[in-house]
Amino acid sequence: MDGKVLVTGGAGFLGSHAALALLEAGHEVVIYDNLCNSSPAVPGRVAALAGRPPDVIEGDIRDAGRLRRLFAEHRIGAVMHFAGLKSVADGQARPLEYYDNNVAGSAVLLAEMERAGVRTLVFSSSATVYGEGGGGSAAQESLPLAPTSVYGRTKRIVEDMIRDQAASGAGLRHALLRYFNPVGAHPSGRLGESPRGRPNNLLPFVAQVAAGLRPKLQVFGGDYPTPDGTGRRDYLHVQDLIDGHLAALRAVAAGEASLVANLGTGRPHSVLEVVRAFEKASGRPVPFEIVDRRPGDLAEYWADPTHARELFGWKASRDLATMCVDAWRWQTHVMREDA
């Protein structure tokens, strides 16, 4: 594939891991990020790990002029689009911000891509597009999309925009990747997830309890119809997720016109299984109490990852223990560095 890879949201949790993997695979990379949910120190860590720097531009995907200059200054061959707001709860509280950022921002990006003749796109979608339909059985891409959250609806709308743009004759080759629960960190311990304030997600919260930063974990519901009564999810190592992105990029850059695929292991784990795995990985206790269910949570959902294996030969390889070991190394590294 000719040209650089533009990684929108490339200072974030997933985008920074993607930028590193792309550099390591020999690509030239441009990170574009407004830093609304990430640290300006992250691209420097990516450069140090890769041994060479990406180009880094601070900007907003809603800024058409800044994107136009970027496409004029850099020969971009493909875009990996991670930029976006991602909290389900926050989306319910700030719907217009989510529609403006995730939907309007993606529309501006697509328009500037078309203007610049950039026709290869990998989009970070989400399992939340399935809504209730993705619960209780292995979610397949053919499931009707019925997102039940503002956030999930923004992801479905962007998927539709991309498909409609491709169908208009713009020649937009694209991969829509639906992530389940990405967790863990780069094995170096120098890249990872840095939630601001109280983590919404399970893994970073458990890591902070193990590190003694929080007294205990609240387990949201112990009465679900699951083997141990707690919620089950398809946790996926961030490195497996990024391997999937590079495989999908290769497929689309090689001429695959359009693909949609789940990125998950197909093997759900319960909250209590995660707690036990993290205690083993860290050697630290993770005290918890079981409280009421969190509104909007499904009992369980997980991926059917068959499509990704068939379309671009991808299969997750890292297990829950590895996810916890790498997450713990990142937690203790961040502790050291930020102490």
Burial class of residue 183 (count of CB atoms within 10 Å of its CB; 0-12, 13-18, 19+): buried
Shortest Cβ contact with ligand WQD: which residue?
Answer: 231
**Active-site residue, from 32, 98, 130, 151:** 151
Size of the site for ligand WQD (CB under 6 A): 18
What is the H or E stretch that residue 213 is in?
A: none
Closest listed residue to residue 288, CA positions, set 206, 183, 191, 216 = 216
What stretch of H or E contains 270? strand 269-270
**182 contributes a contact to ligand NAD by CB under 6 A:** yes
Q: Answer yes or no: are the C-beta atoms of 296 and 148 closer than 8 Å.
A: yes
What is the H or E stretch that residue 89 is in? Answer: helix 88-93
By CB under 6 A, residue 322 contacts ligand WQD = no
Please confirm, yes or no, whether 32 is among the known catalytic residues: no
CB of 309 to ligand WQD, least distance (A): 22
Answer yes or no whether residue 297 interacts with ligand WQD by CB under 6 A.
yes
Closest to ligand WQD by CB, 99 or 220: 220
Pairing of strands 300-303, 138-139: parallel
Q: Which of 22, 23, 30, 38 binds ligand NAD (CB under 6 A)?
A: 38
Burial label for 112, CB within 10 Å (0-12, 13-18, 19+), is buried
What are the beta bridge partners of residue 5?
A: 29, 78
The item of ligand WQD, ligand NAD, none sharing an interface with residue 271, based on CB under 5 to 8 Å by kind, is ligand WQD
| Residue 60 touches which member of ligand WQD, ligand NAD, none, C-beta under 5-8 Å by kind | ligand NAD
Beta-strand pair 232-233/138-139: unpaired
Interface residue with ligand WQD among 78, 80, 145, 271 (CB under 6 A) is 271
Q: Which residues are catalytic?
A: 151
Give contact residues for ligand NAD (rule: CB under 6 A): 9, 11-15, 33-38, 60-62, 82-86, 101, 105, 124, 126, 179, 181-182
Give contact residues for ligand WQD (rule: CB under 6 A): 86, 88, 126, 128, 181, 200-202, 205, 217-220, 231, 233, 271, 294, 297
